[in-house]
Structure 1
Amino acid sequence: MTENDGPKRERDRRVTDLGTLKALAHPLRMRLYRGLTVARVATASQLAEQVDEAVSLVSYHLRKLAEHGLIEEAEPRSGDGRERWWQPTSDGLSIRDEDFRDAPEKAAVHTAASRLFFDQRADMYRRFLDERVHWGDAWNTAAESSESTLRLTAAELGELTAEMLALFHRYEERGRAADAAGETEGRENVSVHTYAFPFRV
């Protein structure tokens, strides 16, 4: 039995309301959501250890995420019924500018959230750089950091983005299938960050 047994979860939940975006755009909540996405299921105590915060504080923020349908209670993984287990309600999230540009407040919250997500992703990469000596030759050779400058139309950029996401999803499904089959040897969590945007010089 795996965490995905039962009804199939939504592939990428599209966040379109301001309340849910505000709930997610909190530094600790985003770290908890990311940690829960990696673990698939976890307790407040397990997540509190990861983020080095009090269990009571983590429990509070998990309930806030649950109020907005971002996470839900999961089946207990142990006989100890005193602690709740949590899981994400979808396999991922999609947050699009087009859903928040129709009002100044929405646009401001979306921009603040985007900056928070970027800062946390940058921190993850800085941590990898600081620790890369411990990852060994194979992982350091496989890791990638590059920048490409392309001349595209908006439609072509949209097409490129869709193709990249489809490729990422294929590899994600491969990893999940391997985990479900117990083929975990040599597998690590891998974070892939992409930023594609227009600019003028």
Structure 2
Amino acid sequence: MTRKEDRRITDMGALKAIAHPLRMQLYRALNVAGAATASQLGEQVDEAPSLVSYHLRKLAEHGLIEEAEPRSGDGRERWWQPASEGVSVHDEDFRSAPETFAAHTAFARLLVDQRAELYRRFLDERHAWGVEWTGASRDSESTLRLTPAELAELNDELLAVIRKYDDKGRADEAAGDTEGRENVALHVYGFPFRV
């Protein structure tokens, strides 16, 4: 299975397009679903299809999502899909001016908030997942003493491991191995701090 590349966001327009709470939710939902209509996404985020359609068009204007082949016989439905495997936003692309740096920081904070909410929801609902899933779900915190180069190397190695498991899971699922398979969120943060 060939992996599509992530879309690296380097311009303010695209960053502002995705740095909206509802748009980020819609983008994440499309990545999970693969393709969906505004009505389907509206049900997931509890918003009117017309509002969802507006925000989907804004994401499409910046090449973050694109129209997809219809998945049903209803020709009136407009289907959408992510235009890439995911998006990446790098600090170095937004350091040039205070306003671009601030926009990048706001986007990063939005991601942290939405990721934390996703994890809180799991914590609140974990009793419903059963022993096998709760036993496999872990969180950890490590305090390492690294240089910037070592942190970059660690991040690259972790990303390679994550991609290996993602590729294997998708290939196994495509081959029909769907038993017990669920969406899994894995959030990794590596950053310096001082006490």
Distance of 2:3 and 2:69 partners within structure 1: 15
Distance of 1:32 and 1:175 partners within structure 2: 23
- The letter for the 2-side match of 1:80 is D
* Per-residue deviation, 1:9: 6.6
- Note the alpha carbon deviations across 1:125-176, whole angstroms, 9 max, x for none: 0000000000110101100111000000000000000000011111111111
* Per-residue deviation, 1:102: 1.1
Unpaired runs of 5+ residues, structure 1, are none
Unpaired runs of 5+ residues, structure 2, are none
Are residue 185 (structure 1) and residue 179 (structure 2) matched?
Answer: yes
Question: TM-score, normalising length from structure 2?
Answer: 0.98
Distance of 1:167 and 1:33 partners within structure 2: 24
Question: TM-score, normalising length from structure 1?
Answer: 0.95
Distance of 2:71 and 2:82 partners within structure 1: 15
* Per-residue deviation, 1:10: 3.4
Residue 13 of structure 1 is matched in structure 2 by 7
Helix, strand or coil at the partner of 2:127 = helix
Helix, strand or coil at the partner of 2:184 = coil
Distance of 2:117 and 2:48 partners within structure 1: 22
How many residue pairs were aligned?
195
Residue 28 of structure 2 is matched in structure 1 by 34
Are residue 159 (structure 1) and residue 153 (structure 2) matched?
Answer: yes
Are residue 134 (structure 1) and residue 128 (structure 2) matched?
Answer: yes
Are residue 54 (structure 1) and residue 42 (structure 2) matched?
Answer: no
Distance of 2:23 and 2:5 partners within structure 1: 21
Q: Is contact 1:48-1:58 (8 Å) kept?
A: yes
Residue 79 of structure 1 is matched in structure 2 by 73
* Per-residue deviation, 1:179: 2.2
Percent identity between the aligned chains?
70
Runs in 1 of length 4+ with deviation above 4 angstroms?
none
Q: Which one of the candidate residues 79, 85, 94 is aligned to 1:100?
A: 94
Residue 18 of structure 2 is matched in structure 1 by 24
Residue 189 of structure 2 is matched in structure 1 by 195
Let me know the Cα RMSD of the aligned residues.
Answer: 1.1
